[in-house]
Structure 1
Amino acid sequence: MQFLGKSTVPIQGWTEGVPVEEKALQQLRNVASLPFIHKHVAVMPDVHWGMGATVGSVIPTVGAIIPAAVGVDIGCGMMAVRTGIQAEDLPDNLHAIRSDIEAAIPHGRTDNGGANDRGAWGAPSPDADWVFSTKLMDRLQVIVAKHPGIARAAERAPFHIGTLGTGNHFIEFCLDEAGAVWVMLHSGSRGIGNKIGTYFIERAKAEMRRWFINLPDADLAYIPEGSELFDDYVEALHWAQEFAQANREVMMRSVLGVLERHFPGKLGNVDEVAVNCHHNYVAKENHYGKNVWLTRKGAVRARKGDMGIIPGSMGARSFIVRGKGCDESFHSCSHGAGRVMSRGEAVKRISLEDHAKATAGVECRKDEGVLDESPAAYKPIDAVMAAQKDLVEIVHELRQVICVKG
């Protein structure tokens, strides 16, 4: 653990051997200066600057939540399952499997997210009834009745369940150290989570203006506990986190359906080793003798025994891990490798040839549209894992053979 500075409270980091940019450190200092931070701010080795708050940070608060620290991809996270398929079962050419996955799960975004968006279903998802039979839709309507500003996004929610999204969201097939095939995917709460996030971020900023509260960064606008707005935000936040988890479960069912067609009878018991974990969310937890609102912004819960997923970049290894329950990290670990280049910088600096070399052996897109996700845009995953050896132990090491990017 490294001491990275102090404002009102210390900033403690697991960053030895990995770069930490100055603008990310300034963001962390701004967060640590707030009067309701409990004990310290914890920094994961994949830390980098992010919209609202630093990605790879763990923020314990008492009496308030910062909506922009949670962000707009509420409940974003990972799911992974181990199948009974073995490396020797895979064909030499994996393109057909990748194409079938891309056909089975809407991904990307067109038409400004409108009716012709290729990243949504053209009609309510085939799995919408299954998901919303859990009363998710009834609860969403209660939220919309109080906050009509999210109504349009709420109408689109049934069209988004079971869809991947854009950016760094992905679906991968990986092989573990024993040659078993894993399915791993990364996504969140889609358009409705984005709208809930942006809506309450603006409401929080309006409250700061109303009470003449000056902050070191306007994105640190907070909602105080005990207010009606706080209760409404927590209600919507928890709804979006549940939606995100359900979204991953629906996608996983679709991917496994593709695999069943390609490898009939070989899936095995996929529930035996399965992990579904958030890495952008808020939970009420007890740390250092205090009940706190713990915001994990690009971090995974890693209590002693907790299973988690830490993906590398395209072409890099990924890891299934078990938490060690480190108190100082608020029982957390990194959520991935962490960017070292902005998306714009990556497109300018990484060539198609560089990308092809870095993803050799992986069935994936090799075109300009994914240069911002190429391995060189991220920190070396080995360095990230070494920096957090006190936080998690590695259970399985995975290498990608297929990658579908949003």
Structure 2
Amino acid sequence: MTDIISELKWRGAVNQVTDEAGLKELTQQKAIGVYCGTDPTGDSLHIGHLIPFMMLKRFQLAGHHPVIVIGGGTGAIGDPSGKNSERKLQTMDQVKKNKEHLTAQLVKLFGTENFTVVDNYDWLSKMSLLDFLRDYGKLFNVNTMLNKEIVASRLEVGISFTEFTYQILQSVDFLYLYQHHNVQLQIGGADQWGNITAGTDLIHRQAGADAKVFGLTIPLMLKADGTKFGKTAGGAIWLDPKRTTPYEFYQFWLNQDDRDVIRYLKYFTFLDQDEIAALAEKVKQEPEKREAQRRLAQEVTKFVHGQQAVDEAEHISQALFSGDVTSLTAAEIEQGFHDVPSVDVSAAKANIVQWLVDTKIESSKRRAREDVTNGAITVNGQRIRDVDFELDPTAAFSGRFVLVRRGKKRYFLARVKQ
């Protein structure tokens, strides 16, 4: 089998490994189960989740078997976050709904073959308090647990017993998956090292010191300016197309800094070393063309949303760049102008001046007349100069939208009530 560990290191995807030589030898000998977990704290994944999932996808493409644990059990408790506060506990109904949404998104990324999604509620919920204390509590040293970074960082402000026990439950997960799903490797973010090594220690105590299990963490993903990757002024970038449209998703990647783009191409795409090296040279020689950013946007959007989403995003981008929006479909209008000021309007025809005032696009009839006369108003890609123009809200975009541009860049979207 391929040397996936060396590949991951070239891509800058390896932070710590419990036994790198042993893991490299094992993964070249046989297919193994590889797992990471995600707690159902929301109803959609975001691009931060892509960081471990890209690792799992690479293992899958190399012939290994990815397993994702949706923490229906641990998610009801909460992993210590490293922040100076406890996580908010969720109801079991909310956890269940979130789990259903996340599972659907994961299947889009990994398919249904050679991929498993499990819920740790299925085994943790069957364990009594006495079982927990007798079978596992005796195997964990409190002093060792206190020294784990994620716990130590919270001691000054305090941590509940509930969150303190999280690392034991995550260790139980690793043991269960080792026993029932042939999982021999757990991966996670850099902050998960303590939890992961607690799991390998538990398996060695239960299955023997020669049990071949490993832990691997991923470097903290920081942008060139030192801020955390995935955090934007507008909030999280979601994988759910209803929360972040594919066009917005594409634009996020397209707008990456030259200093970050090659690192992201290595990590978030499946392009080979030669192609990435060629793109790196283009960043140096012709940065204004932004070819590396475009390739990054294409590849990640295709992975998450499919090729059609890439085509639509590029069509919208070209239309906005040229100012010719007449070729856009109603669905593309909804995507491309998702975040511009919007208003609901009736389907009734109306005088352009009165309509602009009624929709509050213009503050007064005088201002509306001036803007129309001066050619500052464009409706559905057509410049309007006649103050007597009769606007038909159903004339374009399948009768669903009226797109107004005031000046060169100020857009407004009117949604036609049917």
Name the TM-score class by shorter chain.
under 0.3
Higher strand share: 1
The structure, 1 or 2, with the larger RCO (C-alpha pairs under 8 Å, 6+ apart) is 1
- What is the TM-score normalised by the length of structure 2? 0.24
User: What is the TM-score when the length of structure 1 is the normalising length?
Assistant: 0.25
